């Protein structure tokens, strides 16, 4: 998934830095990814540590992490269920088609008509199986994650869901295909996944390595990925305005200039983890110097950095592709 702030390309840098600081053998450690997004950082640590705790305040991220982090044992018949979803007859009275496709007269075009109908049919079927107890939580989240990933691939947007394109772009014209959202089967350890505000959850968890990757600018994830939440939740509401946002999407303090430093300091102060790593870039709401001043109050601090290609929309217009500096702030409490 092309996600704002994704650490996919920085994973090796993060793993190597953590190993250099904490030690090469992490097998006994509890690693927490508190702002997990796509879950890619936790996925990289999953085979290396005893336990991963993943959290994000957005529900679509919770679904992805329930699958990629929470699931670690083989799920019988997962391919058969996915094939059944693939073969469903599309529904033209579903929430996505009615509100986010052009053919229904919604005035929005986030998906082609066929793909919107297919998302509705699959989403309803997953819920029906769950309600009838035909699938357990592991399979439920595997199927939902597979649907979210598939829908995102055919979305008719420049990149995020803050707006749709007037014409269907080539990838949006392709039929939605349900590929399995593969997760690692590599160990017997149980992992934990939460859907909470980081500042609330921090008082309830403890571990060895805390990885923090908060939003670094004012762009709220709840607005930019609202359709993923809508598909994941599938609870009717009245879509607002041209973009079709839900009326009550969450607004994070980490995206607010006048609140971020207070929230961040509270988080660092309350963290019951001996090692804290914070990803942030040099164009964020907090400056590198501010983060340093704040973190060094709570222990031994240092910072490392690497050059990085910033998030880019696929029409090349919305965000520039200039190189930026990505920092990893390190605190030993």
Ligand X SMILES: C[S@@+](CC[C@H](N)C(=O)[O-])C[C@H]1O[C@@H](n2cnc3c(N)ncnc32)[C@H](O)[C@@H]1O
Residues that bind ligand X (CB under 6 A): 3, 5-7, 35-38, 40-41, 56-58, 61, 197-198, 213-215, 221, 252, 254
Q: State the nearest-atom distance from the C-beta of 40 to ligand X, in Å.
A: 4
DSSP letters spanning 96-133: HHHHHBGGGT-S--SB-HHHHHHHHHHHHHHHHHHHTT
Report the residue number, 21 or 263, with the smaller CB distance to ligand X: 263
Q: Which two tokens stand for residue 233?
A: 């939740």
Q: State the nearest-atom distance from the C-beta of 71 to ligand X, in Å.
A: 17
Q: State the nearest-atom distance from the C-beta of 54 to ligand X, in Å.
A: 10
Report the residue number, 10 or 135, with the smaller CB distance to ligand X: 10
Report the residue number, 57 or 98, with the smaller CB distance to ligand X: 57
DSSP letters spanning 194-239: E-S-HHHHTTT---SEEEE----SS--HHHHTHHHHHHHH------
Residue 54 β-bridge partners: 33, 193
Report the residue number, 31 or 97, with the smaller CB distance to ligand X: 31
Q: State the nearest-atom distance from the C-beta of 200 to ligand X, in Å.
A: 8
DSSP letters spanning 292-327: HHHHGGGSEEEEEEEEEEPP--TTSSSS---EEEEE
Report the residue number, 58 or 120, with the smaller CB distance to ligand X: 58
Q: Which two tokens stand for residue 263?
A: 């929230």
Q: State the nearest-atom distance from the C-beta of 215 to ligand X, in Å.
A: 5
E strand or H helix that includes residue 14: helix 11-22
Residues 23, 28, 33, 34, CA torsion sign: negative
Strands 209-212 and 300-309: unpaired
Neighbours of 25 (CB within 10 A): 9
Report the residue number, 41 or 181, with the smaller CB distance to ligand X: 41
Report the residue number, 36 or 75, with the smaller CB distance to ligand X: 36
Based on C-alpha coordinates, what's the Rg of the chain? 20
Q: State the nearest-atom distance from the C-beta of 280 to ligand X, in Å.
A: 9
Neighbours of 143 (CB within 10 A): 28
Q: State the nearest-atom distance from the C-beta of 114 to ligand X, in Å.
A: 29
């Amino acid at each position: 998934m092309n996600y704002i702030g994704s650490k996919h390309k920085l994973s090796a840098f993060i793993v190597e830095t953590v190993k250099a600081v904490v030690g090469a053998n992490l097998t006994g450690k509890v690693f927490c990814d508190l702002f997990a997004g796509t879950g890619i950082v936790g996925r990289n640590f999953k085979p290396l540590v005893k336990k991963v705790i993943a959290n994000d305040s957005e529900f679509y991220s919770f679904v992805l992490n329930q699958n990629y982090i929470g699931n670690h044992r083989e799920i019988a018949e997962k391919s058969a269920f996915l094939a059944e979803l693939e073969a469903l007859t599309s529904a033209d009275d579903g929430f996505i088609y009615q509100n986010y496709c052009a053919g229904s007269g919604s005035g929005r075009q986030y998906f082609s008509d066929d793909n919107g109908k297919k998302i509705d049919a699959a989403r309803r079927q997953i819920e029906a199986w769950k309600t009838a107890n035909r699938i357990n939580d592991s399979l439920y989240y595997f199927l939902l994650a597979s649907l979210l990933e598939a829908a995102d691939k055919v979305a008719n947007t420049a990149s995020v869901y803050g707006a749709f394109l007037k014409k269907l772009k080539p990838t949006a014209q392709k039929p939605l295909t349900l590929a399995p959202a593969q997760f690692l089967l590599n160990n017997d350890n149980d992992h934990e996944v939460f859907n909470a505000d980081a500042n609330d959850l921090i008082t309830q968890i403890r571990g060895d390595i805390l990885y923090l990757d908060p939003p670094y600018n004012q762009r709220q994830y709840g607005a930019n990925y609202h359709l993923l939440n809508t598909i994941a939740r599938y609870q009717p509401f009245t879509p607002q305005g041209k973009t079709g946002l839900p009326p009550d999407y969450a607004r994070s303090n980490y995206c607010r200039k006048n609140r971020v430093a207070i929230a961040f300091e509270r988080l660092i102060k309350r963290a019951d983890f001996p090692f804290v790593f914070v990803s942030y870039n040099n164009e964020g709401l907090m400056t590198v110097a501010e983060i340093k001043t704040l973190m060094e109050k709570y222990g031994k601090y240092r910072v490392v950095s690497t050059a990085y290609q910033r998030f880019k929309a696929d029409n090349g217009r919305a965000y520039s592709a200039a190189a930026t500096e990505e920092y990893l702030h390190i605190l030993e409490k």
